Amino acid sequence: MRLTFCGGAGSVTGANYLLEIPDKEHPRGAYQILIDCGLTQGAHFVEQQNYAPFLYKVSEIDAVFVTHAHIDHTGRLPKLIKDGFEGTVYSTPPTRDCAELLLLDSQHILAQEAHRIDRPALYENEEIARLMQHWQSVLYHAPIKFGKNIKITLYSAGHILGSASILVEAEGKRVVFSGDLGNQPAPLIGPSEKLANIDYCIMESAYGDRIHEDLANRYSKLERVILETVKNGGVLMIPAFALERTQILLLELHDMLEKHRIPAVPIFIDSPLAIKLTSIYSLYRTYLKPEVLKHFGGGDLFRFPGLRMTPTAEDSKSINAAPNPKIIIAGSGMSHAGRILFHEQRYLSDPHSSLLIFGYQVAGSLGRRLLDGEKQVTIMGSHITVRAHIRAIGGYSAHADQKQLMEWVRPFAKTVKHVYLVQGEGQAATVLAGKLNEMFGLSATVPRMNESVVL
């Protein structure tokens, strides 16, 4: 079989891998299966390369398997439909439901950016609606078969709700695509499932060159940032990814308030998308850790006194009138767009306030520039002098760090013939390749865009 790296090579975003598996009974002599079809992101929500034609004939793709709902893994699926895809998309049920909401939300941002650069929108809501007609839900451990000898199975990746690693069995080989692996122990979902007897591995490497701070400390660090901001009488702004990160925050804030570890200040979820996604978490409670459900007695994990959801624009504006101190959780997670920009425009110049970053920030994004210490930024045409405290808690990353990535490989380290490191910046992937060789003696490389290999 042949594997081509059509995206995600040398980059954290834009995951897109083509697997061609020979089959004599197939009309074209081989099944063509995609793993993910994501948007490439950087300084802009959508980078120019997303407009480029796909590196394969879209009409010849038989199926797409989606590891999880994040836009850098799903964001070009509607374009795939627009360009003539007629096959089936497979994912877990939560991934399907979350992806639909994320795609509808991102289409608005894409349209705005397209207008700004005088280009047509990458796709319209019509393509999203058509995509969902092609999208089929599949449970973990329930294999999908193609022809007589191809089997594809989803296993929990422990990253976000419904995330999956994808095992392809064909030609007597076992090939695994890790998807994004989770930072364990995760507050809401169980650990990544580990597989054995793997021949080839395509693995993410976002944090391949670093170790996250101790997970046990992140709760107390969040508590300290809240207490510091409350003491200063300021606003704590948290640019949060609407999926998983917001729900983790709600869970831990709920717990802190129950234990009287923080004062009861107003807490706002200022993201229509996050509000809708939170309801999906309640729908798929069986995907959450049993101990989480037990701790909160079966009630609504994400509702508690002092929490206010602000779905409409008018609701959002009313936050300004609420007295300080207060906590505002708003999208987007890298400050690319969304309502967080209005709050950053208003409060970044306030030395009493704080901005808390607790997710990966792509190079060039506003979030990354603030994290790197820029003191002059432009937000929606306003020039802002940054006087607010910029804080970061790496332990809240939903990605596995170097140590966890190594442990995920360990069960198949003696059988795997080669590891391809993707979905990481060059330094992170290169360092991880060296570590895999040093610890396990593995052959591991960082593929280039559009590179093809025979497995």
Q: Write down the pTM of the prediction.
A: 0.89
Rounded to an integer, the average pLDDT of 180-185 is 92
Give 246's pLDDT tier (boundaries 50, 70, 90).
Answer: very high
Judge whether residue 29 has pLDDT over 90. Answer: yes
Give 330's pLDDT tier (boundaries 50, 70, 90).
Answer: very high
Residue pLDDT, tens place only, 261-295: 999 999 999 999 999 999 999 889 889 998 888 87
Judge whether residue 297 has pLDDT over 80. Answer: no
Q: CATH 3.60.15.10 spans which residues of the chain?
A: 2-210+398-454
Q: CATH 3.40.50.10890 spans which residues of the chain?
A: 215-396
Judge whether residue 337 has pLDDT over 90. Answer: no
Judge whether residue 47 has pLDDT over 70. Answer: no
What is the reported pLDDT for 112? 81
Find, among 290, 109, 119, the residue nearest to 190 by Cα: 290
Question: What strand order describes the sheet that includes 173-177?
Answer: 144-146, 150-156, 164-170, 173-177, 200-204, 418-422, 444-445
Instruction: Look over the chain and give the mean of its residue pLDDT values, rounded to a whole number.
Output: 93
The structure tokens listed for 353 are 């306030």
Residue pLDDT, tens place only, 207-232: 999 988 776 688 888 999 999 999 99
Percent of the chain with pLDDT over 70: 97
CB 192 within 8 A of CB 165: yes
The Cα 385–Cα 376 span in angstroms is 5
The Cα 118–Cα 131 span in angstroms is 26
What is the reported pLDDT for 65? 98
Strand partners, 357: 392
The Cα 101–Cα 79 span in angstroms is 16
Q: Is 52 left (phi over 0), alpha (psi -120 to 50) or beta?
A: beta
The CATH class for the domain spanning 2-210+398-454 reads alpha beta
Nearest-10 crossing angle of helices 272-283, 245-258: 80
Judge whether residue 43 has pLDDT over 70. Answer: no
For residue 325, say if its preceding peptide bond is cis, omega within 30 degrees of 0: yes
The three-state secondary structure class of 63 is strand
Q: For the domain covering 215-396, report its CATH number.
A: 3.40.50.10890
Rounded to an integer, the average pLDDT of 176-204 is 95
Task: Name the least confident of 43-57, 146-160, 179-193, 259-273.
Answer: 43-57
The Cα 350–Cα 235 span in angstroms is 9
What is the reported pLDDT for 375? 96
Give 298's pLDDT tier (boundaries 50, 70, 90).
Answer: low
- Other Cβ atoms within 10 Å of 359 Cβ, number: 21
- Please calculate the CA angle 319-322-324 and round it to the nearest 5 degrees: 115
pLDDT: is 331 or 26 the higher one? 26
The three-state secondary structure class of 24 is coil
